[in-house]
Structure 1
């Protein structure tokens, strides 16, 4: 496939694989695939449609799709835990678009796979846009790619139970400071407890990484989501009026601390969304994505949309590192 050919997730239906339209049919298909990892790397994302999977039947399917299911520790998206390392995909207000991103790309480790399950489709809207990370990278101006070559520096301020944004207790799924510190130790992060109980965390991460199997270099950071400009001019102005940028729940700069221009941020956000393909949900659908090759987001919606998410990791080759990174990934 050349760089200019269209890409979209591969849709798999019961008719395609000659299985019954049920969770049992899907599990039979998955057991017969053999090397699911190779299939996913080739397709980048797979939609399983028409198998009528309910939330009550999800665990058995996830056990096949996501070996070694992970807890959503150190995540910054508002979500609730609803099962065995299964979460609501986000609780961000439905009228807003969530821009493209790779899950936990700001952390020292990230899940290799994600599964989204549509428990209830929206009345209108609510698609999950997905983007090929190599195409997203190629869509950016050379000046932007060059400026981001040294990486980005993320800063979080996690309050102690009352305040703006997420608490450190929710973020690390613990009430123990020692457990939160144990998670952060060895990750390359700098952290400190502030007098008001807030935990401030900073870390420098690469802006791109290479996939360990395909070698593809992909855009792999959340600068546009962590930067106030990514929220729009009015929201950014309101936040600046409330508190200095360094005290926001999350902020981002270039690795050397230089501010990232707002124009770069909006270019990254808008070109990612422009390059994305929408997965329009039907109740019972599942979407499996390679979390390095593919970014995801959310379109606005109406109604009582409920999409669940789970994630997993796989053993990482020693060669897995970004072009400007070595070591702890």
Structure 2
């Protein structure tokens, strides 16, 4: 096994600092001077770009995102609690601020996922609240061979989405529709299996690979959310409390190996902890932007105090 800590210390996302008055005019001009191909090449090379000192305002955000994310996507089938605040712009998460969000590649559980993510800090936190990022190839290397081999056959995700009342997200929020036919039309080409339940909810099961390869570099990366979907990833007390309320098959989300075999809790804890241990924190100032390649980099969130507000948008 390679030493992931040493490797991680050699890498950080590229900081791009304002050289003038800042604002969207300067940043858009610099992006336009580079051109979309060079921006794409730089992002692939660096994995993440942090735009600092431009002090982008919320009113200017769309202009910048139009350059960095030319085809912004809706957060359909997303499992994180978010609020839509603009043209396919969302709150980054509404998970309670005192908790850490472990490392993950956005929608790696899905049939298709965004290629790029952009995070925008509208309000910097009082303390903490960094967005950790992690080279997903190094995350894979950091795991014990036993764990990598166990996941070689992939994983099976199960979502139980309620009809408006219950734990987790409703199917209406998840798929951004109230029409069952639209949900089925979305799921049909994804290879998922689903069933509408008597209480009005839906159970969706999907088998996905545990790793993927970057379409340009060919790098193999850890690319699944087993530690976030597994009860052991929640911690012993929370997992025990959920077990008292619901049987495993009715949890809002759950994960097994592809053949339905349970994933050992110690594997999940190793995946979660090594990801967080070897991540690099991106600290926020109001007006900062972070652009990441969603295959090459996983991301998360550190706990914080104050009124942190970070928005996210994504593109193919």
Q: Which range, TM-score by smaller chain? A: over 0.9
- Residue 33 in structure 1 maps to residue 37 in structure 2: no
- For 1:249 and 1:57, locate their aligned partners in 2 and report how far apart those are by CA, in whole Å: 37
User: 1:137-286 residue pairs with structure 2 within 5 A?
Assistant: 137-286=140-289
Distance 1:218 1:54 in 2: 34
1:10 to 1, 14, 29: 14
Q: 1:177: Cα distance to partner? A: 0.5
Task: Identify the residue that residue 327 of structure 1 maps to in structure 2.
Answer: none
Contact 2:197 2:203 (C-alpha < 8 Å) held by counterparts: yes
Q: What CA distance in whole angstroms lies between the structure 2 residues aligned with 1:66 and 1:22?
A: 18
Separation in 2, partners of 1:274, 1:33: 35
1:285-313, Cα deviation, whole Å (9 max, x unpaired): 00000000000000000001000000000
Q: How far off its partner does 1:20 sit? A: 3.2
Question: What secondary structure is seen at the aligned counterpart in 2 of 1:186?
Answer: helix
Match of 1:45 in 2: 48
State the shift of 1:243 in Å. 0.8
SS of equivalent to 1:178: helix
Instruction: Name the residue aligned to 2:126.
Output: 123
The correspondence of residues 314-325 of structure 1 with structure 2, limited to 5 A, is: none
Pairwise CA RMSD: 1.0
Aligned to 1:52, the other structure's residue is in SS state coil
CA–CA distance in structure 2, aligned partners of residues 178 and 212 of structure 1? 33
Task: Say which SS state the counterpart of residue 185 (structure 1) adopts.
Answer: helix
Deviations 1:16-72 (A, max 9, x none): xxx431211000010011221111000000000000101111000000000110000
**Residue 23 of structure 1 aligns with which residue?**
24
Structure 1 consecutive aligned stretches of length 4 or more whose deviation exceeds 2 Å: 2-5
Q: What 5-or-longer segments of structure 1 have no aligned partner? A: 314-329
Q: Distance in 2 between matches of 1:111 and 1:282?
A: 25
Work out the CA distance in 2 between the residues paired with 1:259 and 1:98: 23
Per-residue CA deviation, residues 143-195 of structure 1 (Å, 9 max, x unaligned), is 00000000000000000111111000000000101111110011100000000
**SS of residue matched to 1:82:** strand
Distance 2:248 2:310 in 1: 32
User: What SS does the aligned partner of 2:263 have?
Assistant: coil
Of 80, 89, 97, which aligns to 1:77? 80
Instruction: Give the distance between the partners of 1:54 and 1:85, measured in 2 at CA.
Output: 17
SS in 2 for 1:100: strand
Query: Normalization by structure 2: what TM-score?
Result: 0.96
Compute the TM-score of the two structures, normalised by the length of structure 1: 0.93
* Aligned counterparts of 1:109 and 1:195: Cα–Cα separation in 2: 29
Query: C-alpha distance in 1, partners of 2:127/2:21?
Result: 29
SS in 1 for 2:190: coil
